[in-house]
């Protein structure tokens, strides 16, 4: 038992030191004031977050609100310190009494808004509402793509 405790402690200390080395490196991605400071992400995910948040900022500067209708919304909205209410986490269990029809009609009627939905339907996570995404793609105008998302305009 003592050997197991010593071994576990060694592993945890080793992981802690590795983490400290990563976040104290000059090449570490996030600044101290970032909500993601201390996290370790792949370079691909970091670039994805940077590209999408840059796009959202540019659209915000043009007067457009951007809703990321995906389970990945928090990756971008936390970084931007923005919120789109329940649209930031559109899991089936999070909607409560809100119906698919309500969400679709609300999104369809938004002004000065762009909606980002997952491009490839096979990449929709199991808790996301694929029916709403499918209906949005059918009914709204697609104006382009950014990273893993299709950009829709109501």
Tens digits of residue pLDDT in 119-138: 877 666 666 777 888 899 99
Burial of 133 (0-12, 13-18, 19+ CB in 10 A): buried
Asked if 150 and 117 touch (Cβ cutoff 8 Å), the reply is: yes
pLDDT of residue 125: 62
**H/E segment holding residue 24:** helix 2-24
What b-and-e string marks burial along 60-88, b requiring 16 or more CB atoms within 10 Å of the CB? eeeeeebbbbbbbbebbbbbeebebeebb
Residues 6+ apart with CB under 8 A from 90: 69, 70, 71, 73, 103, 128, 129, 132
pTM: 0.75
**Sign (positive or negative) of CA dihedral 85, 70, 45, 114:** negative
Range scoring the smallest mean pLDDT among 13-17, 52-56, 150-154: 13-17
Q: Which of 34-38, 80-84, 90-94, 145-149 has the lowest mean pLDDT?
A: 90-94
Q: What confidence tier does 83 reach under pLDDT thresholds 50, 70, 90?
A: confident
Mean pLDDT across the chain: 84
CA distance 73 to 64: 17
């Amino acid at each position: 038992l003592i050997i197991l405790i010593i071994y576990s402690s060694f592993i945890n200390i080793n992981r802690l030191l590795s983490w400290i080395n990563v976040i104290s490196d000059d090449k570490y991605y996030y600044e101290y004031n970032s909500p993601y400071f201390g996290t370790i992400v792949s370079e691909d995910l970091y670039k994805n977050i940077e590209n999408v948040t840059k796009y959202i900022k540019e659209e915000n500067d043009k007067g457009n609100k951007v809703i990321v209708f995906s389970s990945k919304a928090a990756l971008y909205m936390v970084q931007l310190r923005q919120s789109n209410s329940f649209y930031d986490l559109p899991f089936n269990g999070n909607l409560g009494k809100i119906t698919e029809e309500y969400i679709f009609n609300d999104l369809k009627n938004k002004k000065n808004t762009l909606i980002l939905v997952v491009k490839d339907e096979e990449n929709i996570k199991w808790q996301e509402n694929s029916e709403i995404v499918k209906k949005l793609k059918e009914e709204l105008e697609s104006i382009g793509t950014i990273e893993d998302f299709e950009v829709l305009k109501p």
